Structure 1
Amino acid sequence: MKIAILGYSGSGKSTLARHLAGYYKIPVLFLDTVNFLPNWVERDRDEGRLIVWNFIQNDSWVIDGNYEKFFQIERLEQADKIIFMNFPRRACIYRAFKRYFKYKNTTREDMAKGCIEKMDLEFIWWILHEGRTKKRRNHYKQIERDFKDKIVILKNPKEVDLYLQKIVNP
């Protein structure tokens, strides 16, 4: 089983990835851990691509993250299931603040070591605007069209819960 999880920042991609990896007992890759080195320094692009390339050679996996530069098309083509977390802005910003207060002054397991949880104006602007430009929304719509036979679109936490229940109790 190969599962690619895409979606907006704060939608719960990493949480869902952990659940699915645990349920299916397959390895998980959080692309934020590939993109960043300690202290939010961006990793060399070629080095990151090599990490992802090696990971997608596995027979089964869950990959959490958008990052077009890390073989996004190849990941989506290989995936048996694509999950798009299409949550509204207000839900994402709420969840991001909730996550910030939960992990403040620590590093989450789905983040690169040494990347302390942060909430700043740049990230808020990303969640509310930059991460949802017309170009980005159109990119997701294209993915929906190109992979309509294997994409699942989840729009809120209740839909995520129902999706997980269907997997556990088919």
Structure 2
Amino acid sequence: MKVLFLTITLSLFSILQAQESSPLEERFGGLYFVKAIVTDNELLERDIPKDMSPLTVTQLSDGNLEAKFIVNNTGICEEFTMKLEKTNQLGLFSVDEGERQVLIEETSVRDHWILFCVGEIHGIQIRVAELVGPYPDENPQASQDFKKFVSLKGFNEEKINIPRQAEACTPEHV
């Protein structure tokens, strides 16, 4: 009986270890709520929605990721799809044929991630960081990790926006 218990325990431990060491691309996926967002660009800051619907991330067979989100822009729902192309650097993805880079970092809280986007829009340099997680409720430890990350990247912590969680609306073209 002790041998059976030990075997099962070691097997479970091995499975858990394998899951923890699996590549980021295999662990990041599903439905995520945007819990916090910050940018250092005043134009973008004004455009950050006060209400945000969940983000859906799908792992593609080629190792790339697809992110879909819906924005309610003055009563009109628009769906956006973004392909994040895997690069040689762990956790770094290219968007829009290299115009922007997205770094995906884990927090110390399971299934909570920081998305850090750097790039250019219409010739203007942008930097945006978001904290995402699988539940709409705030997680104090994940929020603390995000504040630490934001500070290290040179963002103003006072500019962090906490969006209200909105239900996804249905785009007209669906």
Q: TM-score, normalized by length of structure 2?
A: 0.29
Higher relative contact order by CA 8 Å / sep ≥ 6: 1 or 2?
Answer: 1
Report the structure, 1 or 2, having the larger strand content.
2
Q: TM-score, normalized by length of structure 1?
A: 0.29
